[in-house]
Structure 1
Amino acid sequence: MSTIYLHIGMPKTGSTAIQNFFHRQRARAKTAGLMYSSVAGVNHGRFLDSQYSYARPNVAQRLARLGASHMLAEREESRAAFIAEMQGAVDEGLDGLLSAENLSEMLAKELVALRDSLPMFDRFVVLGFARPPHAWNRSMVQQSLKDGVGFESHVQTPRVPVYSRRFGQHLAVFGDNVRLKIFHRSKLVEGCILQTLLTMMDGDRSALASARAPRVNESMSLTSAKLLVLLNEGQARRSFAKLPGRIADELGRGFSGAFFEEAFASEKPFTRYPQKFLSRILAIPGPKFQVPLEVEEAAAERVETEVGWISDLLGEDIRQFDDRQSGERMRLKEYATFSDAEVDAIVATIERINAK
């Protein structure tokens, strides 16, 4: 029986590590009976968007924002190559594997279109991970800071893990072939998201028993987060007036100065940070990251119904695996203040960025 596995995330559950592994180890994956699509890329999300979700305006806008609008014009050619690749997998006796976090956002009719376009497979199996709500919110807030989104946006429009929307569509289309696990360190096989995913599949995958997929998206310190808050606000205001003078001065020099001069001159409200800059900023040492109290409270008001839905589906309360923040909580206004030690660490980091 030929099977295609759909790894659907949800976001912030180690998907990037899984995708990077299979992209780099396609030949090794074949020895374990798996064909990871090369036509669809590393993360298969853009390809799947362009093929099955393109009619939605927000999807077309997302592809444009990611510089992938050309994929819409190349739909038919790419679809033919993808179908041929999947047929080749079946002919070789391999199972297929697609991985994309936005698979968890696809509508039922789009999932049906995906299923119907791959008749060579006898069975579709959905593999997903549900992250506890507070841990998910904490990770999403950090990602938002990297993407230029401030805390106020999270207070006005709280982000919550809408489990019923992410997994409900798949249950409606694929029924009992939806397999979900809680994303928590105590649930990971040998502490590895890749090994956990492999145990959710049928068949012999022992050829990958020694394989590991190291974590990709690391957490940032509180100091890094505070700086990103004011950098993002500075981009919007075209001014770093709220930053301590020493930090603002160093941001005006060298590599950093050239980047922000261009960003301030742009018509866009936010220009993505160069990897060289962002990776250094994220590595600034400091206290453990905290979600502001106002952000957490706004999300908590909306999440209870979803927690009940996913807990019933999983057969255990997902909240018992949540990593709640403890101790004295920070408020939004405290994110605009820096200790002398934090200023020193930030200035030293920016100096290193500018020196290269």
Structure 2
Amino acid sequence: MKTCILHIGGPKTGSTALQDTFREAAPELLRSHGILYPTIYKQHTPFWFAHMPQFQTNTIASRRDLVHVRRDGGSFHEAVLRDYARLLDETPASTVVFSAEAMMRVRDSEQVTRLAAFLRPRFDAIRVVGYVRPPIEWVSSMAQQLIKAGRTFDEIRSLMRQRDRGAGGIRIDYRMWVEAYSDAFGPENVLIRDGRRGQLVGGDVVEDFVSVGLDARADALGLENRNANESLSGEGAHLLEHVNRHRSVRLGGPARRKRRANRLIGHMRRTGRGTRFVLDGIDLAAWARPFGEQLAWLSDRTDGRIDFRPTITDAPDVPAPRIDDVDRDMVLALNDALAEGERLRAQANERQAWQAFLRGAQDDPLPLLRALAQLDDGRVTLDRARRLMDRGHPECALQVLDLILNPTGDPVGAALQRKARRLRQEAEAAADA
């Protein structure tokens, strides 16, 4: 009997730790237990997006380093599904595990229907496991993530007041994904888990998922828990938000921004202070109250096993931590030092990748593309594209230009975009010649 287990998140429930744990586990050890955790791509998100024809294929291909499918929009879906179809058809494993919290962000039921149509012929049984948290607890954790990504408290409060997902607001919709997966795979195959630490088997999402999804113990499978996205204390969150307001941590693209935030977190942790973080300046209970209907539905759907309604009657009352000017000045100086160090490292890495590509030491431009994306300097990127054209590499130039025209970091200026579009026309003509 061949079984597929879909772990679909949700956000801020330990998904990253679970994915890191499975990905870094020795594949042969999992294989000895008849388990496959696919690693043909670094993450399983492309597998989910491949069932969304309307998605911006060039953007997601750029983010996931799928260089070979950047240019032809339709080929993204075909290439990813072809890779996974071959893997699933050939694997001798009796259990295949997929994990992507993006799978819980269901736009319409057709996405899940297409996913089911792909999986059903290949498996005898398919089970879905999703984790949920109470609204106030969840939004506090989401606020921390946004602070690490460079947001300010004012920006986060603005997002919380937007309940329309299309407007980029922070909202909760348990019902949409539960009903979509229940319709596609059967309600008996959709397991909703309470993501609060005290409700998890062993107090840990990895142990809980292995227990309920694989009917095993993590240590028996050789899984070593990889904790990720470590929480900030109240002081740490306020210090990092202070940096966000007074220094642009958006310089350098998402990956570098996250690393710098993580380094700052390490320094803040060593201060030895640790009050609980709660987003202030907004009535959390009032924000969560409109989700009461969703919470009532969730309670009914789980036969009362998960009832978050008591958690929204009263928001936690935790005063904002007091931080003196010395600490503020210190963390700004520390951030500036880290930013300058990362800028210099990114420049060195880009120069090294460029020289290696010119020497022919690399078979494809992927290392150069990664180095340019890390540097996140539109002028340097445009210059490299021009030089690639001059050296007779129009295909590579197109891939480099895609970093400017489909940016995953901060958008470049209009003048640079116009120059990049003109150069792309030249490159496309040269590539087709």
Please state which band the TM-score falls in when normalised by the shorter chain.
0.7 to 0.9
Could you say what secondary structure the match of 1:52 adopts?
coil
Q: Letter of the aligned partner of 1:309 in structure 2?
A: W
| Segment drifting more, 106-115 vs 63-72 | 63-72
Match status 1:111 vs 2:112: yes
Report the RMSD for the aligned CA atoms in angstroms.
3.4
Could you say what secondary structure the match of 1:125 adopts?
strand
Residue number in structure 2 paired with 1:250: none
Residue identity over aligned pairs, in percent, reads: 23
CA distance in 1, matches of 2:201, 2:194: 12
Counting only pairs closer than 5 Å after superposition, residues 201-220 of structure 1 correspond to structure 2 as 201=213, 208=220, 211-220=223-232
- The structure having more radius of gyration, on CA atoms, is 2
Partners of 2:61 and 2:76 within 8 A in 1: no
Of the three residues 273, 280, 289, the one matched with 2:263 is 280
Residue number in structure 2 paired with 1:245: none
CA 1:75/1:114 → structure 2, altered by over 3 Å: closer, same or farther? same
> Aligned pairs, how many?
316
CA 1:121/1:150 → structure 2, altered by over 3 Å: closer, same or farther? same
Superimposed CA distance per residue, residues 151-180 of structure 1 (whole angstroms, 9 cap, x where no aligned partner): 334333322332112322112222210011
CA distance in 2, matches of 1:150, 1:355: 22
Residue number in structure 2 paired with 1:198: 210
Residue number in structure 2 paired with 1:63: 60
CA distance in 2, matches of 1:148, 1:350: 12
CA distance in 2, matches of 1:132, 1:281: 28
Residue number in structure 1 paired with 2:194: 182
Partners of 2:295 and 2:309 within 8 A in 1: yes
Q: TM-score when scaled to structure 1?
A: 0.76
CA distance in 2, matches of 1:183, 1:43: 22
Counting only pairs closer than 5 Å after superposition, residues 126-141 of structure 1 correspond to structure 2 as 126-141=128-143
Q: Per-residue deviation at 1:276?
A: 4.7
CA distance in 2, matches of 1:198, 1:352: 42
Q: Letter of the aligned partner of 1:318 in structure 2?
A: F
Q: Per-residue deviation at 1:349?
A: 4.3
Q: Which runs of 5+ in 1 are unaligned?
A: 239-258
CA distance in 1, matches of 2:136, 2:93: 42
CA distance in 2, matches of 1:102, 1:113: 15
Q: Per-residue deviation at 1:128?
A: 1.0
CA distance in 2, matches of 1:342, 1:154: 23
CA distance in 2, matches of 1:202, 1:156: 41
CA 1:323/1:340 → structure 2, altered by over 3 Å: closer, same or farther? farther
Residue number in structure 2 paired with 1:318: 308
CA distance in 1, matches of 2:153, 2:59: 22
CA distance in 1, matches of 2:240, 2:289: 26
Partners of 2:31 and 2:93 within 8 A in 1: no
CA distance in 2, matches of 1:61, 1:150: 30
Q: Per-residue deviation at 1:150?
A: 3.0
CA 1:348/1:223 → structure 2, altered by over 3 Å: closer, same or farther? farther
Partners of 2:6 and 2:99 within 8 A in 1: yes
Residue number in structure 2 paired with 1:167: 178
Residue number in structure 2 paired with 1:19: 19
Residue number in structure 2 paired with 1:35: 36
Could you say what secondary structure the match of 1:11 adopts?
coil
Partners of 1:128 and 1:180 within 8 A in 2: yes
Partners of 1:128 and 1:181 within 8 A in 2: yes
Q: Which runs of 5+ in 2 are unaligned?
A: 161-169, 342-433
Match status 1:231 vs 2:243: yes
